[in-house]
Structure 1
């Protein structure tokens, strides 16, 4: 008896590309992990800045020039956005853990609320502070 031909299927939904169509819920989940790790970079940058202030005025001047440059401003704003996004995504996951919003239309609305809300929240905090 002949063996049936096996169909090649993707092993994981993280094989984004020709095998898997990206969905908002999976992208927001991946983005939550990315922003969580990216906040570690901002933490080290802020720590470097504080340690430079405690070291010497000359070293602080060098570090301060780097941190307050346009590149430093971009890094800190993106870190602020990452913090806002991670916060809102945490609230979204608390809603999911309570068993609410698990249907696809509500999950997508909550995903868009995280993305749009984090941008709005980050801009508001940057303008106020």
Structure 2
């Protein structure tokens, strides 16, 4: 997975979106850690690489966690989340937005108990 700059608030990557029997959205652990480092790491002290990524599939924002048994370039969504997207016949290759630190922190504040430190760019 390659994340490319998309806007002031997001990166974009491509994933095969498919159903998952898990409670949360998941991607492969190695990709999760690499994306976490690219998107949320500050470069100061020791950065945690296990923060949930905040991804947007169509109009739905989701906290996304790491899993060891998910194929590379696959975003596994629980049925309830999959139903809120426009994915009609999974697996479907889609552009998925990944929220940058400031946007992710804002979204997570509304939806989950997780927090992400915003990098100090000054």
The reply to whether TM is greater than 0.5 is no
* Structure with greater Cα Rg: 1
Instruction: Give the structure-1-normalised TM-score.
Output: 0.27
Structure in which a larger fraction of residues adopt helix = 1
Structure with greater strand share of residues: 2
TM-score between the two structures when normalised by the length of structure 2: 0.28
By relative contact order (CA 8 Å, sep 6+), the higher-ranking structure is: 2
